[in-house]
Amino acid sequence: MTDVLWTPWRLGYIVGEKPAGCILCQKHQEPAEKDRHNYLLHRAQCCFIMLNLYPYNNGHLMIAPYEHVGELEMLNAETLTEMMRLTQRAVAALKKAYSPVGFNLGINIGHVAGAGVADHLHIHVVPRWAGDTNFMSVLADTRLIPEALDATYDKLRAIIKEEGWT
């Protein structure tokens, strides 16, 4: 299984205390002044984009509706369209920022399917590079992650601002 990313810092997420309530709702309900602190990258009409705090790779982000909904069939057409539009934009921004050579895009529905936040639907966008599985296993260090998240946030925010996303 050489194509599976080895991300030991995620262990903190898997074994750690889960915060009460829905983390996705908490982040977007906090004031916009805290967006950088919360790694919330962009607020659109129906959905928002935030960095994954326990990334599978550099630049791993998530697109979620504001609405606390766990099932795809419960989202209206406007929200679905915006989720996909934001996915498209996120892919373009990540290409610009990091020149990945591939992406994993995915929605995990239900705990059994691996959803960390099972009740609040979100699309994962994970950029991939040739050899990233080896690279990450060498560089993995939990202390590096917060700095990596800050740098990723600033880089992507700059692109979003430059392109004037609404």
Q: Where is 41: in which H helix or E strand?
A: strand 40-43
Number of residue whose CB is nearest Zn ion: 22
Q: Which residues are catalytic?
A: 122
**Should residue 25 be labelled a site residue for Zn ion when binding is judged by CB under 5 A?**
yes
**Should residue 107 be labelled a site residue for Zn ion when binding is judged by CB under 5 A?**
no
Residue 60: strand, helix, or coil: coil
Interface mask (CB under 5 A) for Zn ion, residues 61-90, using x and -? -------x----------------------
Backbone phi and psi for residue 96, each to the nearest 5 degrees, phi listed first: -65, -40
Residue pair 62/124 in contact (Cβ under 8 Å)? The answer is yes
CB nearer to Zn ion: pick between 121 and 149: 121
Helix axes 77-98, 145-163, angle to 10 degrees: 110
**Should residue 122 be labelled a site residue for Zn ion when binding is judged by CB under 5 A?**
no
Binding site for Zn ion (CB under 5 A): 22, 24-25, 68, 120
